[in-house]
Amino acid sequence: MNAFPDFSNYGYQVTRELGHNRAGGRVTYLATEINTQKSVAVKQFQFAQTGANWTQYQACEQEIQILRELDHPSIPRYLDSFQTASGFCMVQEYKNADSLATLRQLTPQHTKQIAISVLEILKYLQNRVPPVIHRDLKPENILVDDRLNVSLVDFGFARIGGGEVAASSVVKGTLGFMPPEQMFNRQLTVASDLYSLGATLICLLIGINSTEIGSLMDETGRINFKHRLPQLTPEFLDWLQKMVEPNFKHRYPAADAALNALIPLEVVQQRNNLKPVLISVGVLTAVAAIVIPFFWKSPAPQTAVKPKTNLSEQKLNPQTQVMLTDELQSTKLRDVWSVKQNKKVYFAVSATNLPEGEYRGYCKVVNSQGKLAAQSQSYLRTTDDRLNTWCWYNFKKGDKPGDWKFQFYLDGQQVAQNSFKVSP
């Protein structure tokens, strides 16, 4: 007999606890929807218990209101709510993932990939009219599964639209992750969440708990972190510094600008300070869960990679698949694109039947005139016999319609190609 609450009258059977905030009277459970046998997350707000804060109810109502209006694969959907004797319960889509607060041993490249995913979510929120500002972005509220799929949770402090906050309002957020304008109830902008994301990334890169972020702040409130990350490139550190500028006017103006600035950046300094040069920032090979920087390896013997035979001795013959989408995590495939829409095209590459080891991957986009439109490279590593990666291209003014090609290379050998049409 377990001590979990009985929600069977409401159609749910609790399986286990996922997390809790006892001081706020909030507990989240993994449960099964009895009729469909689907897993869901039930967040219980125990307002009637001694010591619980009834003002949390307002946050709960606000979260439901905001979640009803959102439709993004990386934001767990609102499903249901019901009232119990001890408070109120909200039911959401369950994501089988851990929070960043519990994850360890993330490589800098993995951290960059997570940053890209969170910025894509923020871009969706900020493109709404009016924009949605999360206001509590921190490691505990970012979930990441074993394939580096990212979800953003806990919209209890979220706000629709920016602007001034009433002077009498209670400050909402988490110390260390709130930008100065949020701490002092000043004007909020879409750049406010960028500060919180920057502070989160600093925790991940240095390897400290979220409660320790204050130890990096000086007397002016500025986060000093560059001296703790000598292995990272100056360009990436400058990007991160701009994310956490105390004055929001000195940050990136929005998630879209921060994303475009981040994607082409190398994160880890290469040996002898040599770095691969991006021929064009229009396309980028990015890392997935199985990708690590070429010179960023754990010295532990069990993680050592067996050397491959020389290219002159071995011809690669992997089984490959290339999928074209207009959103990184979309499952809707396309083969026709419009220059006028000025949208990105994402190329998701999957390769199997590969010898174990490390590879230099190249993405190339060839336009309708047969000329190279853009190219980029990244270092990739197999997991078992496979690797996955993705690249993107953003159509620009002057691009001509016609038949275009995407080509993917490993160690100089072309292993995949896909054609797509570009309309005027």
Mean pLDDT by 10 residues, the chain (424 residues): 84 91 75 96 75 61 90 95 87 94 83 95 94 92 91 89 46 70 78 95 92 86 91 95 94 95 89 38 32 27 36 67 75 75 78 83 87 79 80 82 90 86 87
Rounded CA separation 315/310 (Å): 10
Rounded CA separation 88/47 (Å): 7
pLDDT of residue 68: 93
Specify the DSSP class assigned to residue 254: S
8-93 classified as CATH 3.30.565.10: no
Q: Do domains 8-93 and 277-423 have the same CATH topology?
A: no
Location of structure tokens 């040599």: 274
pLDDT of residue 57: 64
Rounded CA separation 243/258 (Å): 8
| CA-based nearest residue to 17, from 35, 42, 34, 45 | 42
pLDDT of residue 54: 53
Q: How distant, in Å, are the alpha carbons of 34, 284, 305, 349, 414 from that of 318?
A: 44, 21, 19, 12, 10
Q: At what angle do helices 234-243 and 192-206 cross, to 10 degrees?
A: 140
On whether the CB atoms of residues 144 and 150 are closer than 8 A, the answer is: yes
* Domain 98-262: homologous superfamily in CATH: Transferase(Phosphotransferase) domain 1 (1.10.510.10)
**Domain spans of the chain, in order of start:** 8-93, 98-262, 277-423
CATH architecture of 277-423: Sandwich (2.60)
Instruction: Please give the backbone phi and psi of residue 187, each rounded to the nearest 5 degrees, phi first.
Output: -60, 130
The DSSP element (H or E) to which 200 belongs, if any, is helix 192-206
pLDDT of residue 377: 73
- Within 344-401, strands assigned E span 344-352, 358-366, 372-381, 387-394
Rounded CA separation 99/308 (Å): 36
